[in-house]
Structure 1
Amino acid sequence: MASIKDPHVIDSFRGAMEEMYNKLVVQTSGEIMETAVELGRSHKLSMQSAVDTCSKKCEDSDKLFETIQTNKKDLAQKTVLRKEKRDAISRSLCEIEQKQSQKDDISLKIEKLREEQAERRDLIVSQHRANKDRLKNLKKAKQVFQERLGLEIRRIHGQKLQFIFQNINPASPDNAYTFTMGIQADGSYQIMSSDPVLESLEDLKTHLHKTNNISAFLANVRKEFVKQARF
């Protein structure tokens, strides 16, 4: 065994150590480089995956935003349409209520017209009966006065009657004393004129409206004519 004090041994040992170190450095450097390359590749793949993921999320976010905007527009349009439909329904309901109100008013008017027509019909029937009674009374009065007092009754101008009295003035029995009378729509008598004029004719007419006694009225008119003929 060589002595460690031998300078050649030290140099040999140093050389061996340097050679081992160099080999170790080369080997370690290679592994480090391979590891670094592998890590770089892995990092690049990770980064690319992250970039792809981010890009996809950005695209998804853009699509989601577009979808949200579209939904907002659709919702706004639907809201407007719903408001328009509500307004249209409200207008339709108002029109229906107005038409129903008009229908009710028309029904009330029709019912009122029916009642008025029935009242007019009853009034016409009543007036017709009253006129028939008055005509009967006139006919009776005519017969009595014709037979006893020489009265003549003539129909003139439709519903008007002219009463002609004779035998009023004993000095001139053929002289005619007349008055004109009509029957109004309500069945009342209307005294129009007399010849000669009787000042008491209005009072006689008022009494006739109260009593409705045509015979007494004719008798009273004849009496007035007789009084006037004596003066």
Structure 2
Amino acid sequence: MRDVLIVAGDTGETDLLTTTLQLAGYNVADTAGTGVEGIVRIRRRRFDLVVWDATLPDLKDVARGPRLASDELPPVLFLITCDYLHTLLPGLGKRNDDYVTKPFRTTEVLARAEVLLRGRSSKGGAGTAGYGDLVLDDATCQARRGGRPLGLTPAEYRLLRHLLANAECVVSKEQISRHVWGDFRASDAIEKLVSRLRQKVNRDGAALIHTSRGFGYWLGHARG
């Protein structure tokens, strides 16, 4: 059973997350109501995953999250509002972390938690995740397919990471815009970004990035 620490100032959110994670088979080993308390908990014992409210007022540097040595810090799933999202995005990919926006859906929390823990335990080591022969390394922000480096730009890497975190599920243009840039971008800018990424990922192999017309894009093997 995976041990989880929840760091959130809202007791309602803490209770909801605790129930959701426990029903999914996780062990909520501890909780904290402030960022300072969260750091104390992490230094006191090891957790497999931390769910961290990035809007806590006592830690304003949300892009860094809890300041600990890399060997002390488990994967972190940030909870964040759109107003704070621009401060968090530049730090993603430097560690094994991810985020969901508030108000969050419990299904999305569970999906992101699973991806984070899967990446930590994969053969590639901490901070890696993959789908088939596609592998992403968050420690270096590098992606490769079948051993071939993809040479992604930061925006392309964030997009691919988001598609991978939601593998086999359709992601809307609005979701992509919020994740990649932290604000709204025109439809043609998103389409151009997806097109560039698709060319790099799908080259020399079966297509992994697909369009669901009128809905968005998804990563996975072709259906039917």
Same fold (TM over 0.5): no
Structure having the higher helix fraction is 1
Structure having the higher strand fraction is 2
Q: What TM-score does the superposition give when structure 1 sets the normalisation length?
A: 0.23
- The higher relative CO (CA closer than 8 Å, separation ≥ 6) is in 2
Bigger CA radius of gyration: 1
